Amino acid sequence: MATSALAYVQGNSFIHKLNPITVLTYTLCITLLGIGVGQIWVLLLVFVLNILLILKAGVIKNFMGMFLRVTLPIVIPMFIINTLFYPGSKTILYTLGPLMIRYEGLMFASTVISRLLAILSAYFLMVLVIDPRDLMIALGNRGISPKVGYLILSTLQLIPYIQQTAARILEAQQSRGLSLKGGLLQRFKSYLPLMAPVVMGSFASLEIRAMALEVRGFNLKTKRVYIREVFDTQRDQFLRRGFIVVTIMILIVSVYFKYFA
């Protein structure tokens, strides 16, 4: 099983140099736009914009790999099913033997796909360009509890480790006679003997882990000073305000056209 590696790709583009919160703000604004705007052409424009940003950040190859792997299996079946079977569809565009391609379904599928493309591309950009450590430090500098940073970073590091542990337990139990084959009931029975060691081992370590955190000053109320510096420049602040303002404007215009024009 593939160990979950970070999506983050290091780089020197201007996007990489931005404060992570700026990139986060951008992504959240795009999400709002994606949800609030219904016009397909706007959504596709946003998607193109994100692709351009991804290109500028130098992460286009990583993006293509992830994007195709993740979205195609969802998008293709969804498009086919909705175009053919979207309920309430009346207007038939094309007939292919017993199958009918209908307008309403096509519109629905196209809208969903555009929305998906627009929003997902922004998120892909974000995770490719932001180092989670920097994000946590930036959030910490703005007053978010360092415990949040601890949660996210330690979970990220733990995942590959626990996957390895699981693979090891799988091997160990198999060498003790546990079978991965057999009827459904048989395989169900094998589930607990695999899960139990993982859970018990995890819970057994809790006490020491918690105490170790305590003695490192985890619960101190002092303001943390991080060795690693994450800068928040004027440009960052300007960009963030810009994103929010533009998003609101586009939303207003979109709502106007949808309901009043």
Q: Could you tell me the smallest distance in angstroms from the CB atom of residue 245 to another protein?
A: 25
Of 98, 175, 204, 260, the residue at the interface with another protein (CB under 8 A) is 204
Site for another protein in 44-83 (CB under 8 A): 66-67, 69-71, 73-74, 77-79, 81-82
Of 194, 244, 248, 250, the residue at the interface with another protein (CB under 8 A) is 194
Q: Could you tell me the smallest distance in angstroms from the CB atom of residue 149 to another protein?
A: 7
Residues in the chain: 261
How far apart are the C-alpha atoms of 123 and 30, rounded to whole Å?
9
Size of the site for another protein (CB under 8 A): 98
219 binds another protein (CB under 8 A): yes
Site for another protein in 149-178 (CB under 8 A): 149-159, 161-163, 165-166, 170
Q: Which two tokens stand for residue 170?
A: 């799988």
| 8 Å CB contact between 142 and 21 | yes
231 binds another protein (CB under 8 A): no
Q: Could you tell me the smallest distance in angstroms from the CB atom of residue 224 to another protein?
A: 5
Of 52, 92, 198, 255, the residue at the interface with another protein (CB under 8 A) is 198
Cα distances (Å, whole numbers) of residue 210 to 10, 139, 204, 213, 235: 32, 23, 11, 5, 40
142 binds another protein (CB under 8 A): no
Give, in degrees to the nearest 5, the angle at Cα 15 between 13 and 19.
125
How far apart are the C-alpha atoms of 95 and 20, rounded to whole Å?
50
